[in-house]
Amino acid sequence: MMRHLMASVLAALFSQGVIAQESANPAPADAKAYIISPADGATVPQTFHVQFGLMGMGVAPAGTDKANTGHHHLMIDGKQMPMAGKAMGDEVMHFGGGQTETTLTLPPGKHTLQLILGDMAHAPHHPPVMSEVVTITVE
């Protein structure tokens, strides 16, 4: 719950310009990233499939300089929200080839997943385009 609240507060601060953003690739205000599967609250095996969704923008490989596009980054267990204007690093898994799905293997227990769209240089867009936090239980 706290991670979800923090993500919402950061999104509000980004969108209102309180946190500076240097992204060369701004996002439409109505753009939305989401996790298609697994669903929030799902119980999954240790190895499972994750499908990414995006509305209001297009997916393009990292380095592609095209308006209203980006590529997915997946944050697992809310390690650290990426900073505005900074390339996302080890706190996320990068899908710079434009991938829209992956297979993960996680240890048993509760985990959280959150998508963050990155611009051509891996920085969060302005406003940030990120999914709700999805909580899963790995068997």
Into how many domains does the chain fold? 1
pLDDT tens digits, residue range 50-104?
A: 999 999 999 999 999 999 999 999 999 986 666 666 777 777 899 999 999 999 9
pLDDT tier, 6 (very low <50, low <70, confident <90, very high otherwise): very low
What's the domain range around 115?
2-138
φ/ψ (deg, to 5) at 74: -115, 120
DSSP string, 107-126: -SEEEEEEEEEE-TTSPBPS
Q: What's 41's domain CATH number?
A: 2.60.40.10
**Per the omega criterion (within 30 degrees of 0), is the bond before 38 cis?**
yes
Helices marked H in 16-129 — which ranges?
Answer: none
pLDDT tier, 15 (very low <50, low <70, confident <90, very high otherwise): very low
Mean pLDDT, residues 123-138: 93
Does 16 have pLDDT greater than 60? no
